[in-house]
Structure 1
Amino acid sequence: MQSLLKAAREAGSGLPPVERWHPEYCGEMDLVIKRDGSWWHEGVRITRDRLIRLFATILRKDDDGVHYLVTPVEKIGIEVEVAPFLAVRVDAVGEGRDQSLIFRTNMDELTEAGPDHPISVTVDPDSGEPTPLVHVRGRLQALMTRPVFYELAELAVEHEGVTGVWSGGLFFSLGQADG
């Protein structure tokens, strides 16, 4: 498990430096990343995994809240319904306040939840449905799949009257239940 922790801490080092690129805005592309993690271009699902993974390496979300595909010479806006990635696995290393939670995304990126990679859970006021997210890189997040969120719920403890999990020395609330 320690090798998993080390890999998570080194994650992202081989990705293009999209945060340092400042190309001209070139308009919008009819590309949508749906809530379920599927990628759609002009209404047709992209099924080539290599193409999706390539696009994922040049994806960025800017201060304006818009997601872009970015190269050194182009910046193209795309639509993301919730988050561009899915957190498809979580592993706990350690226990209690010393615990680290390592998330694996559907793009095989590893993220250790903590100060630089917070967990957030918003709850829809109408449906009560939680939207659990973990920060991956830049301003990009991963939506936790239902099984991953259930695993977090199993790891949850109460701290100062709040139910949540510890990771990277921080306590993250898993959302407020109606009481």
Structure 2
Amino acid sequence: MHLWHPEHCGDIDILICADGVWMHEGTPIGRPELVRLFSTILRHDADGYHLVTPVEKLKIRVEDLPFRAVSMRHENGALVFVTDQGDEAVAGADHELVVETDPQTGEPAPRIHIRADLWARIVRSVFYELVEMAHEVDGRLAVTSGDKSFALGPEGAGL
């Protein structure tokens, strides 16, 4: 899909809500198979999110991130995240785990890289699992996946 460069055809009234619900013209898209199909042709370009086929490129809106990491499992010493659309990402060099913190509220905003420039917001319950397995590295809570360590918060947020 990254090789497809069709002309921009305009906007389509599709919104991916922060809670992961895909809406079309203000109504939830009720067919999970259709949402999954759309998720496979989703691309993030400099000017926003688009559904892209070989012949058209339609801009959509995304409230937060396009995917949500809704579960996680341990596999061969690595953390495997599964999105609400069935994508899997093994945290590591190719799939960074990033936790930004709101400077005013201190609220963590964890995310995992899925593909190209597409990310998944890690849901709260999965983030709690990460915190429970965390260890302290250089004064920060961190988790390890494979041979890579990921900080779960700002400096001084250790155990």
For the criterion TM > 0.5, the same-fold answer is yes
Listed as ranges, the gaps of 5+ residues in structure 1 are: 1-17
* Higher RCO (CA < 8 A, seq sep 6+): 1
Q: Which residue of 2 aligns with 1:47?
A: 30
User: Which residue identity is paired with 2:74?
Assistant: A
Counterparts of 1:116 and 1:166 in 2: how far apart (Å)?
14
Secondary structure of the structure 2 residue equivalent to 1:127: coil
Counterparts of 1:117 and 1:172 in 2: how far apart (Å)?
11
After TM superposition, the score normalised by the length of structure 2 is 0.92
Once the 2 structures are TM-superposed, how far is the Cα of residue 156 of structure 1 from its aligned partner? 0.8
Secondary structure of the structure 2 residue equivalent to 1:19: coil
Larger fraction in strand: 2
User: Which residue identity is paired with 1:85?
Assistant: F
Q: Which residue of 2 aligns with 1:29?
A: 12
Secondary structure of the structure 2 residue equivalent to 1:20: coil
Once the 2 structures are TM-superposed, how far is the Cα of residue 178 of structure 1 from its aligned partner? 7.0
Note if contact 2:69-2:123 (Cα within 8 Å) is conserved in structure 1. Answer: yes
Larger fraction in helix: 1
Counterparts of 1:90 and 1:170 in 2: how far apart (Å)?
17
Counterparts of 2:2 and 2:153 in 1: how far apart (Å)?
31
Q: Does residue 138 of structure 2 align to residue 153 of structure 1?
A: no
Q: Does residue 86 of structure 2 align to residue 92 of structure 1?
A: no
Secondary structure of the structure 2 residue equivalent to 1:154: helix
Once the 2 structures are TM-superposed, how far is the Cα of residue 116 of structure 1 from its aligned partner? 0.7
Pick from 138, 141, 144 the counterpart of residue 163 of structure 1: 141
In percent, how many aligned pairs have the same letter? 46
Listed as ranges, the gaps of 5+ residues in structure 2 are: none
Q: Which residue of 1 aligns with 2:43?
A: 60
The 1:116–1:163 alpha-carbon spacing in structure 2 relative to 1, beyond 3 Å, is same
C-alpha RMSD over aligned residues: 1.5
The list of structure 1 runs, each at least 4 consecutive aligned residues, that deviate by more than 3 angstroms after superposition, is none
The 1:65–1:124 alpha-carbon spacing in structure 2 relative to 1, beyond 3 Å, is farther
Q: Does residue 64 of structure 2 align to residue 82 of structure 1?
A: yes
Counterparts of 1:153 and 1:77 in 2: how far apart (Å)?
36
Q: How does 1:90-169 map to 2 (within 5 A)?
A: 90-94=72-76, 99-169=77-147
After TM superposition, the score normalised by the length of structure 1 is 0.82
User: Which residue identity is paired with 1:46?
Assistant: I
Query: Number of matched residues?
Result: 157
Note if contact 1:102-1:113 (Cα within 8 Å) is conserved in structure 2. Answer: yes
